[in-house]
């Protein structure tokens, strides 16, 4: 798998590790419970010709820190927010798998649609 590895630190001191490949519009991949960024290895390779594909390990998963706290979905959504801010990502597309979808909904609930670092996010129905 091509690309590189990195890490960011959340506002409560947890290091989140990530994999990144490609260039272009950022596509952030959020894995499910008991999974890791490695789950998306084929997407990292297969989509890196069109996107900057970024898959991160949520707290307690993969290569990220495993603290004794912070496993509520709202905290995982705050981690996602910290992650996007730390990498200064804009015009972001997101994809969630399993628990990752719940994290994305919690992000929306906590921060609202205007908090997505994207100029193209819309609350209107798409046809």
Full set of structural domains in the chain with CATH: 4-115 (3.40.50.1820)
- Its pTM stands at 0.89
Which of 1-5, 39-43, 117-121 is most confident?
39-43
Give per-residue pLDDT as tens, 42-91. Answer: 999 999 999 999 999 999 999 999 999 999 999 999 999 999 999 999 88
Residue 5 has pLDDT above 70, yes or no: yes
Residue 104 has pLDDT above 70, yes or no: yes
Instruction: State the pLDDT at residue 2.
Output: 62
Which neighbouring-strand residues pair with 6? Answer: 18
Q: d(Cα 127, Cα 124) in Å, to the nearest integer?
A: 10
Q: Is 26 helix (H, G, I), strand (E, B) or coil?
A: strand
């Amino acid at each position: 798998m091509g690309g590189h590895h990195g890490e960011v630190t959340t506002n409560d001191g947890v290091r989140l590790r990530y994999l990144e490949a490609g260039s272009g519009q950022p596509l952030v991949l959020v894995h499910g419970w008991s999974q890791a960024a490695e789950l998306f290895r084929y997407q990292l390779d297969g989509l890196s010709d069109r996107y900057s594909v970024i898959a991160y390990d949520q707290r307690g998963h993969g290569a990220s820190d495993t603290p004794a706290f912070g496993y509520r979905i709202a905290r995982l959504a705050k981690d996602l927010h910290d992650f996007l801010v730390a990498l200064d990502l804009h015009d972001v597309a997101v994809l969630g798998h399993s628990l990752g979808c719940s994290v994305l909904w919690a992000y929306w609930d906590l921060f609202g649609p205007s908090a997505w670092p994207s100029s193209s996010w819309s609350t209107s129905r798409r046809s």
